[in-house]
Amino acid sequence: MSGRVSVAVPEGAGGTRADRFVADAAGLSRAYVQRLISEGRLTCAGRLLRANTILHPGDALELDVPEVVPLELQAEAIPLSVVYEDEDLLVVDKPAGLVTHPAPGHPGGTLVNALLAREGSFGGIAGVARPGIVHRLDRDTSGLIMVAKHDAAQAYLMAQLKARRVKKTYLALVGGSVAAVVGRIEAPIGRDPKHRTKMAVVADGRPATTGYRVRERFAAWTLLELDLVTGRTHQIRVHLASIGHPVAGDPVYATGLVRRGPEGLGRLFLHAWRLELAARSGERLIRVSAPLPPELEGVLDGLRTSDPGRVA
């Protein structure tokens, strides 16, 4: 299905959420409809609607369904750093700049293309374009990402993530001096109503929680350890920007000096450092970590040498 889909809300459907009603009426999955809504493709009388907009009888909805471009996945000999492997999963240390999975307009050069070049198979329950994928990292974020080697493992890992039983810890260098040594940010995240390609803390967003601890202080910067309790899009970046401490090198949520970052920084200073989860057998705990890549460690070394305000 593609093109404009027109749907009128009948008398008996008043009080229904927009995403649920449109998915049922158009015969599309709710997740797909939610994605289209997040892209600004659902309107009523020319007004953009949110997924949780409550509909009224007589509302005339218009959904713009883009033409689906089939993805032809190809194996590519892209080097991968596998830091852990067992019969159920791989844990890969993803470099910054590598996209997790293909998408229209970006069919190749991704982690998935690299995985297809490895021997063996991967779980397929997330769709043909995401073999083994259970979560993702932003393109400019480096660090640990889990990959399921078969369907049962993929289902298990997805369930563990949903139940928040996978502990994901990140390292980030942020602008300014974070006052509290230990803190917790609880603020809902959703699409920025003014900039639909960005996320923001919004009252009607999805619940999101990030814990943090100060690891090292500099005169103009703070190195944090961050626990990603929930997994919303751009969560760490949005939460830190919302408290006035955006991530160094962030081209979307930071401005001025913080956007440029300290001397020598050429990318977002955000790294998925550590993962902890129970093995599928339930008999052991898997703990994996990945050190900061050289380009980020080099920035810290420069600050430690030149920054008189450093506090370890």
What is the tens place of the pLDDT at every residue in 242-299? 999 999 999 999 999 999 999 999 999 999 999 999 999 888 999 999 999 999 999 9
State how far Cα 91 lies from the chain centre. 17
224 and 230 Cβ atoms separated by less than 8 Å: no
pLDDT at 309 over 60: no
**H runs (alpha helix) in 30-100:** 30-38
**How is residue 220 written in tokens?**
């103009």
Residue 2: what pLDDT? 62
Q: Which of 24, 86, 138, 151 is catalytic?
A: 138
Each residue of 197-254: pLDDT tens digit? 899 999 989 999 999 999 999 999 999 999 999 999 999 999 999 999 999 999 999 9
The CATH number that domain 3-65 falls under is 3.10.290.10
Instruction: Using DSSP, state whether 60 is helix, strand or coil.
Output: strand
274 with 215: CB under 8 angstroms?
no
Domain positions in the chain are: 3-65, 82-162, 167-306
Torsion angle, CA of 210/285/159/213, rounded to 10 degrees?
0
- Helix (H, G, I), strand (E, B), or coil: what is residue 298? helix
Q: For 78-135, how does the pLDDT look when each residue is reduced to its tens digit (9 = 90+)? A: 999 999 999 999 999 999 999 998 876 677 889 999 998 887 778 876 666 788 889 9
Residue in 42, 46, 48, 40 with CA at minimum distance from that of residue 25 = 42
Beta strand ranges found along 218-257 (DSSP E):
221-228
Instruction: Please enumerate in sequence order all residues whose Cβ is within 8 A of that of 177, keeping only pairs 6 or more positions apart, or say none.
Output: 217, 220, 222
Q: Which CATH entry fits the domain spanning 82-162: 3.30.2350.10, 3.40.50.720, 3.40.50.300, 3.90.850.10? A: 3.30.2350.10
Q: Is 138 designated active site?
A: yes
| pLDDT at residue 42, rounded to an integer | 94
Question: What is the β-pairing status of strands 209-217 and 221-228?
Answer: antiparallel
Helix and strand totals (H; E) in the chain: 7, 15
CATH domain 167-306 topology: Pseudouridine synthase (3.30.2350)
Q: Quick one: how far is CA 81 from the chain centroid?
A: 20
Token pair belonging to 108: 């190749």
The answer to whether 82-162 and 167-306 have equal CATH topology is: yes
H-type alpha helices, the chain: 18-26, 30-38, 111-116, 151-162, 235-242, 256-260, 294-306
Over residues 170-180, the pLDDT tens digits come to: 999 999 999 99
Q: pLDDT by residue (tens digit) across 136-150?
A: 899 999 999 999 999
pTM: 0.77
pLDDT of 311 over the 70 cut: no
Q: What is the mean pLDDT of the chain?
A: 90
